[in-house]
């Protein structure tokens, strides 16, 4: 879907949001299978928890429904996002409704006023969108979570909102490797306050070096080569995100030190 709304997955969501109505907007990937009562559970959690701006589902692996894909996403101080509970067997450890860092957007609900707030703050290129067209696809929900947290918005995890997720059924492989490699670098440059970058620079650089080293070890594979290409493009073109960075950080409602504490809190508990 190339055009004014961006390209690919981001374009589809941005275009859909221009037509969406109501107080709550729900994202649901086409490679998911929700339980019949999933939507009621997800929306009901927002009704119960007025403090929450967003709600995230209990995402299970499609082919291994006893194992988690995500019970909410988080962002590490090493500059890499991850999903809480990913690959773990379900033994009841995530049965509690509680706050998490942000939603896994494959199956999540957002208050419309929150999405409008994030679009208004100009954290995309071009400005005015909910998801950043510059990211194209992959990590666009990570970007949204970081921007939302900087604005003070919070997320509730809903264990009764169960969804099975067939991972990368409409993507993955070379495509995912390239854009994840590029976009992880973009997000560091775009959304992290300087305090966080400088205080954790050795970990950030070390993690990127480790990712590159692992890709080099598997360089005969197309996905590994795509990851390296994406990382190289990210390193060469990250100044493209600086205009959006200025708008993101200028509109932040929590201090860099508070943001750092939030990142630490939720990555430690993952």
Token code pair at residue 102: 């942000």
Q: Mapping DSSP to helix (H, G, I), strand (E, B) and coil, where does residue 195 land?
A: helix
Cα–Cα distance between 142 and 134 in angstroms, integer? Answer: 14
Q: Write down the pLDDT at residue 163.
A: 98
Q: Which residue numbers in the chain have pLDDT < 50?
A: 1-2, 5, 169-171
Q: Write down the pLDDT at residue 1.
A: 40
Token code pair at residue 162: 């169960």
Token code pair at residue 194: 């300087």
Which CA distances in Å does 96 have to 20, 57, 60, 180, 211?
Answer: 30, 12, 16, 31, 33
pTM for this structure? 0.95
Cα–Cα distance between 38 and 125 in angstroms, integer? Answer: 33
- Per-residue buried b or exposed e for 126-152, using 16+ beta carbons within 10 Å of the residue's own CB: eeebbbbbbbbbbbbbbbbbbbbbbbe
How confident is the model over 197-217, as pLDDT tens digits?
Answer: 999 999 999 999 999 999 999
Cβ atoms 204, 79 nearer than 8 A:
yes
How confident is the model over 138-179, as pLDDT tens digits?
Answer: 999 999 999 999 999 999 999 999 999 997 644 458 989 999
Partner residues linked to 109 by β-bridges: 26, 55
């Amino acid at each position: 879907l190339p055009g004014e709304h961006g390209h690919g997955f981001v374009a589809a969501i941005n275009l859909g949001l221009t037509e969406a109505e109501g107080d709550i907007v729900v994202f649901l990937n086409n490679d998911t299978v929700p339980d019949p009562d999933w939507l009621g559970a997800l929306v009901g959690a927002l009704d119960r928890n007025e403090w929450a701006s967003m709600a995230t589902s209990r995402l299970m692996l499609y082919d291994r429904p006893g194992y988690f894909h995500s019970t909410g996403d988080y962002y590490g101080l090493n500059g890499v996002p991850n999903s809480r509970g990913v690959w773990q067997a379900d033994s009841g450890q995530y049965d509690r409704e509680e706050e998490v860092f942000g939603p896994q957007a494959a199956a999540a609900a957002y208050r419309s006023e929150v999405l409008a707030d994030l679009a208004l703050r100009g954290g995309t290129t071009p400005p005015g969108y909910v998801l950043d067209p510059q990211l194209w696809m992959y990590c666009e929900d990570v970007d949204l979570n970081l921007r939302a947290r900087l604005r003070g918005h919070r997320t509730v995890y809903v264990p009764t909102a169960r969804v099975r997720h067939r991972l990368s059924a409409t993507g993955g492989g070379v495509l995912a490797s390239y854009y994840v490699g590029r976009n992880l670098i973009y997000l560091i440059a775009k959304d992290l306050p300087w305090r966080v970058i400088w205080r954790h620079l050795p970990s950030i650089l070390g993690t990127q070096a480790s990712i590159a080293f692992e890709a080099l070890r598997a360089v005969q594979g197309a996905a590994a080569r795509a990851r390296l290409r994406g990382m190289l493009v990210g390193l060469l073109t990250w100044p493209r995100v600086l205009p959006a960075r200025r708008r993101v950080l200028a509109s932040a409602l929590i201090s860099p030190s508070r943001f750092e504490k939030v990142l630490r809190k939720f990555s430690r508990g993952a």
